[in-house]
Structure 1
């Protein structure tokens, strides 16, 4: 089922043209809606910067996207297998249901047959796909600005530990299964604007992202490949340090972050990230002024892309970059968070937090 995807330019052209050549072999996730579609979907086409492409429906669902109700990407496979068709229809009508083999039997279907059919078509079992569907509902809740508990309940997990363990299975390796190899540590950090995931080795921070950022699991897969490491859900001193600094920032006591960072990217991208860290707290810059700041005044779009590729939120303050007209735009953590952070920093500058 897996193959190397063509370039994003080629896939986006196929999406715009509704070219059926990639139907079933490539899917598009729309960042602004959280939905993934076939490339032949008749819905209005998103802007290219709002798209991400996947070779499988499971890849899209693991990244937190839910299937489009218009083009029904899951139906590509169900049309050829009645067992798959029946179960997918029930899954879409009851996405919050905690499915079991007994539920499958109640539909007069054989669980072993269903398991083999889904494994053959999607590479995962029906029960695994149902868990992915519930997780995407939880991610939707967090994306709306709600808290981790509400997201956990929306995903039909009875306990927070169960919900977090499910996420951990998507993005990392259990500590008990870690080998004596190089590995990175990951841990949840709770903040007033939602849970953040921190990833670090024994010396530096590699990633600090909001839980609901679309594609976070894929970012972690790429990080593991880049570093040749496994990721285990466990604290370490670097994570303790950034957690303390974040607590100071949100309480209004800490302006600067001193945790060492590791940032992978091109020289241009790293230059943009370095420039971001020079924007004073309580102030903002436009993409064009940031481009001028680094000596590339004609590279506004490239600066915007580099800004969006930042994987260390708040510490590398990409939220301080706004549109030329003063509008809040282009923040993967959500515009409501961007507004909250800028207002918080304005109040810090005035000495209001903690009064």
Structure 2
């Protein structure tokens, strides 16, 4: 089922309170101005009788409303912050630069404000994000270079610093990876940030955003399963993952055909298979998923299984929301969950034409 909006009265109360609970799920259009906004928009609030509420930006545009220039409803919530936009553009232009707090000051920004904004939207500071980008660059270089060359390409002066940062991200030092290992880890760039894909020659075992806190633990479990055989490289499955993610983010296709290797208990696997039946543009509550697998009392267990999913996007745990319509938690960050749902609303509208 598509996400059912609560009553207009509930949404208007959320608009007045600038409540972020419906971020990415509900938008307000103001008849007197012809503009549509997020419910969290800082602009002066319209009168109740002038408001119309929609479940997607596509519906707002089709109704003839234009996006607000203050809250930028067509972009992720983070993009509405000019400081974040400015820093992300700078990082994109110089991904291997060793960014420091004085660089933020030199751009006319307040480091404390920037730190809070990045933590709120991404769960990490800008400097942490920049360090992850440098490390991701070194990760890619490791597939074809020596450790020392990859270290230098990533902008790390110290070998020990590179090893420590690599171990923090992936749970083991660069030298511990095997070239001819059973499992091959690759770095994939997406519009929502770097992802790590782990594949063998038959299936995808892991697909996670590189800044997900659970990533080192998940990789450690895979190493144990593969008896330490994990390397840096790509297989034909990795190439398929890249192709399908590109089609997903460019709006070409919202479905995936990549073979998946599921590592979990029979219960968690059943939950993950149920998630795969949720079509792009649709959402389910945890209670609905529990009912679908025939265990209506297992709502909390379903939530835990949803959080334990280690194949992001292709097993769409982001399509599970709270019973009240709130986005609830997502390991990749609520801003990514919001954007993924927005992308899939467009996939669904395209499929209906």
The aligned counterpart of 1:330 is 329
Q: Offset at 1:147?
A: 11
Q: Offset at 1:146?
A: 9.7
| Bigger RCO (CA 8 Å, 6+ sep) | 2
Q: Offset at 1:351?
A: 2.3
Alignment of 1:125-144 (within 5 A): 144=121
Matched, 1:313 2:312: yes
Contact 1:152 1:160 in 2 (8 A): no
Task: Quickly say closer, same or farther: Cα 1:283–1:156, change in 2 above 3 A.
Answer: closer
The aligned counterpart of 1:297 is 296
Alignment of 1:12-161 (within 5 A): 144-145=121-122, 151=128, 153=130, 160-161=137-138
Q: Please tell me the root mean square deviation across aligned C-alpha atoms, in Å.
A: 3.4
The aligned counterpart of 1:198 is 197
Q: SS of the residue aligned with 2:350?
A: coil
Q: How many residues are treated as equivalent by the alignment? A: 216
Q: Offset at 1:218?
A: 1.7
Contact 2:178 2:232 in 1 (8 A): no
Deviations 1:218-242 (A, max 9, x none): 2111110022132212122111110
* Structure 1: distance between partners of 2:136 and 2:210: 17
Structure 1: runs of 5 or more not aligned: 1-95, 98-137
Matched, 1:178 2:178: yes
Task: Quickly say closer, same or farther: Cα 1:193–1:277, change in 2 above 3 A.
Answer: same
Contact 1:152 1:158 in 2 (8 A): no
The aligned counterpart of 1:349 is 348
Q: Offset at 1:152?
A: 5.9
The aligned counterpart of 1:266 is 265
Matched, 1:225 2:224: yes
Task: Quickly say closer, same or farther: Cα 1:303–1:347, change in 2 above 3 A.
Answer: same
* Structure 1: distance between partners of 2:135 and 2:185: 23
Deviations 1:208-262 (A, max 9, x none): 0011111311211111002213221212211111010000000111121111111
Contact 1:173 1:230 in 2 (8 A): no
Q: Give TM-score, length-normalised by structure 1.
A: 0.54
Q: Offset at 1:159?
A: 9.5
* Structure 2: distance between partners of 1:279 and 1:340: 17
